[in-house]
Amino acid sequence: MDRRLASKVALVTGGASGIGRATAIAFARSGAAVAVADADMAGAQETVSYIEGHCDARASAIAVDVADAESVRAMVRSTVEQFGRLDMAFNNAGVHDRAASLHVSTQENWDRVMSVNLEGVWHCMRAQLDHMLMAGKGAIVNNASRSGLVGVPSDGVYGAAKHGVVGLTKAAAIEFASKGIRVNAVCPGLVETALTRARFGDELAARAKLANPLGRMAQPEEIADAVVWLCSDSASFVVGVALPVDGGATAR
């Protein structure tokens, strides 16, 4: 059994489903205690129940609105109060752009996407760094998406937010590496989740075949494995990377 993260504490936002749930479970299977944070408390508790039933690890569900700075600070405080420390964080919570094209996007849509996907990561990093700086060590991984690396048609607002996440990741990585804190990002391509199925519907199978050289979608667990690796000592010299986990899509 992989116990490389035994005695560590991990925090996952967006842990109620999809990539977040898979990553929370992967952290737990590697021995870490896990704070599963989400606005969807029922889903977060389902993740915790799975961990408690299948993994030899502690877990707790925490309510959070990542767009609200005080809610995020409370999330981090709760994590530290329950588990005594914070070693790793995966800032994964996000929403998709509802607009079909940039020219019809609204201010409301822009504000919604930016407040969660970019400002939310900023709020999380600030609160997490406060505790990690006191400890003198830590690892943060942000979910930046393939849309944070390349331009995607009809994805302008979402892509702008995710490019911002890559910028935040690199700036923080440079600033805090000397303090013992590693900051990186993962950039998934098309991943098979309920959200993806709802977004693309009947088009999904065709999109999957064309999405990358492998000709398929990623499973959430494949993204989770990359996050756990980035947080582990196996990646101790990896700093400021925006890692594509996209089946080769960005290599084309």
What integer pLDDT is reported at residue 100 of this predicted model? 65
Q: What predicted TM-score, i.e. pTM, was given to this entire model?
A: 0.96
pLDDT more than 70, % of the chain: 98
Question: Residue 162 pLDDT more than 70?
Answer: yes
| 90, 158, 176, 229: the active-site residue | 158
| Residue 158 annotated in active site | yes
What integer pLDDT is reported at residue 1 of this predicted model? 60
Alpha carbon distance 114, 106 (integer Å): 12
Residue by residue, DSSP assigns 66-99 as TTSHHHHHHHHHHHHHHHS---EEEE--------
Fold of the domain built from segment(s) 9-190+221-251: Rossmann fold (3.40.50)
What integer pLDDT is reported at residue 80 of this predicted model? 98
Dump pLDDT digits (tens) for 172-196. 999 999 999 999 999 999 999 988 8
Cα distances from 230 to residues 90, 91, 114, 182, in angstroms, run 10, 13, 25, 9
Among 62-66, 73-77, 204-208, which is the least confidently predicted range? 204-208
Give the confidence band of 8 by pLDDT, cuts at 50, 70, 90: very high
Dump pLDDT digits (tens) for 193-225. 988 888 788 888 898 899 999 999 999 999 999
Cα distances from 89 to residues 40, 139, 168, 249, in angstroms, run 18, 7, 15, 26
Question: Residue 98 pLDDT more than 90?
Answer: no
Average pLDDT over residues 23-27: 99
In degrees rounded to 5, what are phi and psi of residue 63? -80, 135
What integer pLDDT is reported at residue 63 of this predicted model? 99
What integer pLDDT is reported at residue 3 of this predicted model? 83
Please answer whether residues 13 and 37 qualify as being in contact, where contact means their C-beta atoms are separated by less than 8 angstroms: yes
Question: Residue 127 pLDDT more than 70?
Answer: yes
Alpha carbon distance 221, 197 (integer Å): 17
Which amino acid is residue 57, in one-letter code? A
The answer to whether the Cα torsion of 203, 200, 147, 48 is positive or negative is negative
- Non-local (6+) Cβ contacts of 201 within 8 A are none
Question: Residue 103 pLDDT more than 90?
Answer: no
What integer pLDDT is reported at residue 159 of this predicted model? 93
Question: Residue 99 pLDDT more than 90?
Answer: no
Pairing state of beta strands 33-38 and 9-13?
Answer: parallel
Average pLDDT over residues 9-16: 99
Question: Residue 13 pLDDT more than 90?
Answer: yes
Higher pLDDT: 123 or 252? It is: 123
User: In the predicted model, what is the mean pLDDT of the chain?
Assistant: 95
Average pLDDT over residues 63-82: 99
